[in-house]
């Protein structure tokens, strides 16, 4: 009980710090970053980020190209560490545990925090094997269970009807939009807690984009979602909260409605009204 | 005003087109040169050697009488040699490549190793023979048996396998690795399930090419002191042996005294060449088969 109250206090303080207008009151947070800094070599890509990602909501990250959006969400599942020159300071708490603790297992984190990438990146394997990849690496061998997971995940990603008769065909034979939904399904198959999406629709046509957007709305019932997007209409349509990044800093973080209708910072206003690079 | 003078462009057009044609003929001739030499070579060897190849020649023992001699001994020797070289280079070569590409942090030591592997690929094969003689034949007291020859040959072709495997591992797109790591896979799971399947065609091609190199290589085995005697067929890796190219070498030398040996050499060359063509074809088939799936 006590820890919970402390946690809440912490939240409040952070929210004040981010000049947030939002309520955020009794929602739990999946992620909380504290004074997060990241450098690529000498290039300071993330500066003093203090953000709280709420549970079962869609949090959008917007901002001009190169402002650190991808870097930020890749830091949440520590994928950014694949770049050898990266240095990080500060803390990220996932479910109240600092993910940078020396003993923290990245493999465990990434099982809980799934990721969908900007470019669809299915494996050159069958559709079935793509979806079963995650469960298999986590040790599920039972064919019946795998079958069920595959169907559930494909249904969850709204692509079951399109591929159910060709599960053994190579996923490369699908269209870009279908491939991206396969990737979402692949991510659902490990039953994550949080789903990170880095511009999941930037390579898709309008209809596929719409499908993915609807999907995100559907998924937020069961998952917490962080989505990077270049498309402000998209952010406004599908997200509950929005963070505006600029040159590695969070300029504004609040409820999406508030941010778009009534931005507090001049720079946010310039950006969302298109008066800004 | 216009910067591009149309009249000038028209005037130069002819020259440019002629140069273009000239370049094409030049490259075509370069290709033809190699091809013609190859065809002549194969024609000469086949026309001399093919009539000597019959069942007797393929399955017979070595003999001082040319008409009774067969190549079964050296064929078996080459086979046993491959039985040592293939698994060893596959395991060590691919293992090294995986380590360097996937595990080693980029830095001074890996790039030092890298440079040395490249250098090793350029070391003359006779030097490897000397190494094998000192270390395996004498040092480990193996004697000049299949195992010693196989170890020596493995060292010789290892750099080829390492470099080919590295290249094909490097060609696996990073986004496939990211997809795997992003789902909580460990490094080994990612290597096993994503990297290796995708790079397998390149790796196999490298392995098979290195094996054909090992089958054709002669110099290091001469240094190891592989006998030209009428030894019994080898039937384990601890037996003495001889191999196809070595047999060809000795027959060619002896043809100064006994004319018929030249024909035996030609026949053996044809058999060896066919073996090599077969292996290279397998490499190509494997590559095409897997590449289409990607
Ligand atoms: N692997 C890397 N090595 C070095 N610098 C990098 C690397 N990746 C990103 N950066 C730098 O970090 C900064 C933020 O990049 P990031 O990819 O996070 O931007 P972004 O907001 O996602 O941009 P976009 O909208 O174009 O995708 C940029 O200045 C970029 O040059
Ligand atoms: Mg990006």
pLDDT digits (tens, 9 = 90+) for A123-180: 999 999 999 999 999 999 999 999 999 999 999 888 999 999 999 999 999 998 899 9
| Residue A137 in contact with partner chain B when CB distance is under 8 A | yes
Q: A63 in helix, strand or coil?
A: coil
Over the stretch B255-289, which tens digit does the pLDDT of each residue have?
888 788 888 888 889 899 888 888 888 888 877 87
CA dihedral sign, ordered A185, A187, A192, A198: negative
Q: What confidence score (pLDDT) does residue A97 get?
A: 92
Q: What confidence score (pLDDT) does residue A170 get?
A: 93
- pTM for the predicted model, two decimal places: 0.81
pLDDT interval class at A3 (50, 70, 90): very low
Q: What confidence score (pLDDT) does residue A17 get?
A: 42
How many C-beta neighbours within 10 Å does residue B281 have?
Answer: 11
Q: What confidence score (pLDDT) does residue A1 get?
A: 38
Extract the tokens encoding B42: 């194969």
Cross-chain Cβ contact A190/B183 below 8 Å = yes
Q: What is the rounded average pLDDT of the residues B81-85? A: 93
Bridge partner list, A92: A33
Ligand nearest to the CA of A44: 1
Backbone angles phi, psi at B67, to 5 degrees: -70, -20
Instruction: Indicate the pairing of strand A86-94 with strand A97-98.
Output: antiparallel
| Residue A108 in contact with partner chain B when CB distance is under 8 A | yes
Extract the tokens encoding A201: 């629709």
Ligand nearest to the CA of A117: 2
Residues B77, B243: Cα–Cα separation, whole Å = 5
Residues B56, B66: Cα–Cα separation, whole Å = 12
Domain coordinates in residue numbering, chain B:
6-52, 57-291
Q: Enter the DSSP assignment of B6.
A: H
CA B206, B143, B80, B160: dihedral to nearest 10 degrees? Answer: 0
Q: What confidence score (pLDDT) does residue B291 get?
A: 66
Listing DSSP states for A129-191 in one string gives: HHHHHHHHHTT---HHHHHHHHHHHHHHTT-HHHHTT-TTSBGGGS-HHHHHHHHHHHHHTT-
CB-based pocket (< 6 A), ligand 1? A 40, 43, 45, 63, 65-71, 83, 230
CA dihedral sign, ordered A152, A154, A157, A160: negative
Extract the tokens encoding A32: 């909380």
Select from A79, A106, A133 the Cβ nearest to the Cβ of B178.
Answer: A79
pLDDT interval class at B293 (50, 70, 90): low
CATH class of residue range B57-291 = mainly alpha
| Residue A173 in contact with partner chain B when CB distance is under 8 A | no
How many C-beta neighbours within 10 Å does residue A43 have?
Answer: 9
How many C-beta neighbours within 10 Å does residue B238 have?
Answer: 13
- Which of A122, A133, A183 is most worth mutating to test chain B (most B CB atoms within 10 A of its CB)? A133
Q: What confidence score (pLDDT) does residue B151 get?
A: 93
How many C-beta neighbours within 10 Å does residue B246 have?
Answer: 23
Rounded distance from Cα A183 to ligand 2 centre (Å): 18
Instruction: Indicate the pairing of strand A58-62 with strand A241-246.
Output: parallel
Is A53:A224 a contact under the CB 8 Å cutoff? Answer: yes
Bridge partner list, A37: A89
Q: Which atom in ligand 1 lies closest to the alpha carbon of residue A245?
A: 21
Q: Is the backbone of residue B4 left (phi > 0), alpha (psi -120 to 50) or beta?
A: beta
Residues with CB under 5 A from ligand 2 (ion): A 70
Q: What confidence score (pLDDT) does residue A6 get?
A: 40
Residue B142 has pLDDT above 60, yes or no: yes
Cross-chain Cβ contact B185/A107 below 8 Å = yes
Extract the tokens encoding B293: 């799936």
How far apart are the two ends of chain A, measured CA to CA in Å? 47
Give ∠ CA A223-A227-A233 in degrees, rounded to 5: 120
pLDDT interval class at B73 (50, 70, 90): confident
Rounded distance from Cα A223 to ligand 1 centre (Å): 27
Q: Enter the DSSP assignment of B54.
A: S
Ligand nearest to the CA of A245: 1
Q: What confidence score (pLDDT) does residue A23 get?
A: 45
Over the stretch A215-264, which tens digit does the pLDDT of each residue have?
899 899 999 999 999 888 999 999 999 999 999 999 999 999 999 999 99
Q: How far is B201 from chain A (nearest CA, A)?
A: 14
Q: B294 in helix, strand or coil?
A: coil
């Amino acid at each position: 009980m006590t820890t919970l109250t402390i946690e809440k206090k912490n939240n409040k303080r952070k929210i004040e710090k981010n000049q947030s207008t939002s309520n955020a009151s009794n929602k739990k947070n999946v992620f909380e970053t504290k004074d997060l800094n990241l450098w690529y070599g000498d290039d300071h890509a993330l500066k003093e980020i203090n953000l709280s990602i709420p549970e079962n909501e869609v949090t959008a990250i917007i901002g001009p190209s190169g402002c650190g959006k991808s870097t930020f969400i890749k830091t949440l599942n520590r994928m950014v560490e694949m770049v050898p020159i990266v240095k990080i300071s500060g803390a990220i708490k996932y479910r109240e545990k600092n993910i940078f603790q020396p003993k923290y297992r990245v493999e465990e984190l990434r099982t809980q925090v799934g990721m969908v990438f900007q470019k669809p990146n299915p494996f050159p394997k069958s559709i079935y094997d793509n979806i079963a990849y995650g469960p298999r690496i986590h040790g599920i061998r039972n064919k019946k269970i795998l079958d069920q997971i595959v169907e559930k995940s494909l249904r969850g990603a709204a692509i079951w009807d399109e591929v159910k008769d060709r599960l053994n065909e190579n996923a490369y034979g699908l269209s870009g939009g279908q491939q991206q939904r396969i990737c979402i399904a692949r991510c659902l198959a490990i039953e994550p807690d949080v789903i990170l999406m880095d511009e999941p629709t930037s390579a898709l046509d309008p209809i596929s984009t719409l499908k993915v957007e609807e999907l995100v709305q559907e998924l937020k019932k069961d998952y917490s979602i962080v989505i990077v997007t270049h498309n402000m209409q998209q952010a406004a349509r599908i997200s509950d909260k929005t963070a505006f990044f600029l040159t590695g800093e969070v300029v504004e973080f609040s409820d999406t409605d508030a941010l778009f209708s009534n931005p507090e910072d001049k720079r946010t206003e310039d950006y969302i009204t298109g008066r800004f690079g | 005003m216009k910067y591009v003078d149309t009249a000038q462009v028209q005037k130069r057009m002819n020259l440019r087109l002629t140069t273009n044609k000239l370049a094409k003929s030049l490259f075509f001739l370069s290709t033809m040169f190699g091809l013609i030499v190859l065809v002549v070579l194969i024609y000469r060897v086949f026309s001399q050697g093919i009539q000597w190849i019959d069942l007797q020649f393929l399955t017979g023992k070595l003999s001082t009488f040319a008409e009774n001699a067969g190549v079964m001994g050296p064929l078996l020797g080459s086979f046993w040699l491959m039985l040592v070289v293939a698994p060893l280079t596959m395991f060590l070569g691919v293992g090294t490549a995986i380590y360097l590409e996937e595990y080693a942090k980029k830095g001074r030591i890996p790039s030092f190793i890298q440079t040395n592997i490249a250098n090793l690929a350029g070391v003359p094969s006779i030097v490897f023979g000397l190494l094998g003689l000192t270390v395996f034949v004498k040092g480990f007291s193996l004697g000049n048996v299949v195992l010693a020859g196989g170890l020596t040959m493995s060292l010789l072709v290892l750099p080829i396998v390492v470099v080919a495997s590295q290249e094909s591992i490097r060609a696996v797109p990073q986004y496939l690795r990211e997809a795997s790591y992003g789902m909580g896979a460990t490094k080994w799971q990612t290597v096993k399930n994503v990297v290796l399947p995708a790079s397998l065609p390149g790796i196999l091609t490298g392995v098979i090419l290195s094996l054909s190199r090992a089958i054709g290589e002669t110099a290091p085995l001469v240094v190891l002191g592989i006998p030209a005697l009428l030894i019994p067929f080898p039937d384990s890796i601890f037996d003495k042996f001889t191999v196809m190219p070595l047999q060809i070498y000795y027959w060619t030398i002896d043809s100064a005294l006994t004319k018929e040996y030249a024909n035996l050499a030609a026949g053996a060359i044809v058999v060896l060449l066919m073996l090599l063509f077969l292996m290279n074809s397998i490499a190509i088939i494997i590559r095409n088969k897997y590449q289409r799936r990607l």
